[in-house]
Structure 1
Amino acid sequence: MTLPWGVYYCFVAWLSVEQTEPGDTLIHTFEVPAWSYCQIKWFAFRGTVAGELSPSVSPIFKHHHPGLPVVQTFIARTSDGYLDTGIWIYDYLTAHDGTTAYAYDTGETWWVGQEFNQGWYIVDRAGLFFDTSQIPAGAKILSATLSYYVSAKYGWDYDIVIVSGDDLSEPLQPHHYHDLLDDIISLGSAPAEDRYRFQHIPLNELGLTHINKAG
């Protein structure tokens, strides 16, 4: 290998690995021990002639070990919940664009949607929190799906839309209702499922970028 003047390489550790296939082959397979996924290693090829190391060495190669896709399940934290405008609001825009709402985060059920009941306009928005600190900072997220169980569904058909939760904080606060008004870009959506079944909503490409890595 010919190096320009003033260019140097320093290796703090060197590991020799023999190819798996015996003899001279067209395909070379190497089993590199303790090579974690998402880790980069540098290597070079050097053969032997009559048991002696060849003086000729290949260029230095760089390879990122992607590993097999890892599937992880994250359960929503107990601080999740929903925001509800409550009753006694007789104007839809007042309910939809309100500056505050009631925050509920103590139960296992959350509500999302709009309701017209006895002349009152009621709007519900849910906020879910997940601890994704186990995802390595350099990991590439290929897909993600939000799954939940539908215990009730009322009214006509509508879509469940996932939006950014950057404006939220734990625990949910009444003012979060208004903070979500400008979050209108869909990160994933699907028609609401009928009750007594699971709903699965895949995140779109933009939604994947909103997943927080390494805490």
Structure 2
Amino acid sequence: MLYLASKSPRRRELLGRLLSGRPGSEFGLLDIDIPEHPQPGEPAEDYVRRVAREKAGAGLLHVVGNPSAIVLGSDTEVVLDGEVFGKPADDADAASMLRRLSGRTHQVISAVYLVSAGRELHAVSKSDVTFAELTPAQIDAYVASGEPHGRAGAYAIQGLAEAFTVRLSGSYSGVMGLPLYETATLLREFGLLDDGVPEPETADAGR
């Protein structure tokens, strides 16, 4: 059985979307909480991969009594000039992050690990996101919306932040928190994803 080691409702939604309508589409949820702090001198990509792996490993410990369990762990971070922007501590921290991202192109790194008792695979997605120049009023209004809370880099690409995202090169789902192409590739490697395309609900379904 597949388990998702994450508290994130966005990852739950994305994984559910990927598996929807396919055989064996059910997956369990594991409430995993591990420290998420870069180590001194740790490169951003190494940090993201480490956290994703630790989430998957911690999740596997939760289901150690199930030898057929496969656990998916993922982490997504915003990186600017080599610095990892985690989740903002408060409104002031969120505003500070947004001021630094304003008018700049930053990188979003997402890592995915799929682990079982005897196997481990991983993939990394990197995307470039460019923000428009944000006025102080725009930043204040966005912070006041509450959307930056609990979001890496203090924004949600699928939410109000779409209005100031000028360009995205890479994986939209990866910026959201779970890169679906990479995740699908790993699931196929584990035999958990059928390559067949689900049948449409009606024969005359159109766009």
Shorter-normalised TM range: under 0.3
| Structure whose CA Rg is larger | 1
TM-score by length of 1: 0.25
